[in-house]
Amino acid sequence: MSKDLLEEVVLPKAARCQCGRHAGHHTVEKRPVRAVISRAFEVPEIAGYSMDGLTLYIDRRLPDRMAGVPIDRFLEVHEEVEKALEDKLGFSYSHAHEIATAAEREAVELAGFSWTDYDKEMQIWIKKLEGTAKDLPEDLEEPNKIGGKAPVYTTYK
């Protein structure tokens, strides 16, 4: 997978805008700086961004590889798309998450890996770690996922 995929958010064909307007209605700007990846903390829901968007936190308990797939770059694609859709376009968390998962899947498959194997193992880890994060980064941003409106961000304490 090329760095260009990570530097510019591109919505996969399967996840293009369904708002009823013209094709390509929703576009996302390039991020000026790529986030630094940190695996120094435990993170609710596996991964998330710092409040300033400069650090991508991936839970330190998560293995580096799943089903033979190096996962950090694919989690980065997921989180980058999700954050851009929420921050720049006001998407609800659930809609942004659905599109980000499609982008993550496309990235995994474009890199020549099996999405089925990758996702099966990822789901096991998500369930295993759910609700267990204790050592959180102070600046972790997490959307309020209640309701269908644009998320309200808070910092985990």
What lies within 8 Å, CB to CB, of 146 at 6+ separation is: none
Rg (CA), the chain: 15
Contact 81, 60 (CB under 8 A): no
* pLDDT, tens digit only, all 157 positions of the chain: 334 433 344 444 444 445 544 444 455 555 556 789 999 999 988 999 888 888 999 999 999 988 888 899 999 999 999 988 988 899 988 899 999 999 999 999 999 999 999 999 999 999 999 889 899 999 998 654 434 433 333 333 3
Domains identified in the chain, total number: 1
Picking from 115, 70, 113, 81, the residue whose alpha carbon sits closest to that of residue 10 is 81
pTM exceeds cut of 0.75: no
Range of the domain at 54: 3-155
Distance CA 93, CA 112 (A): 28
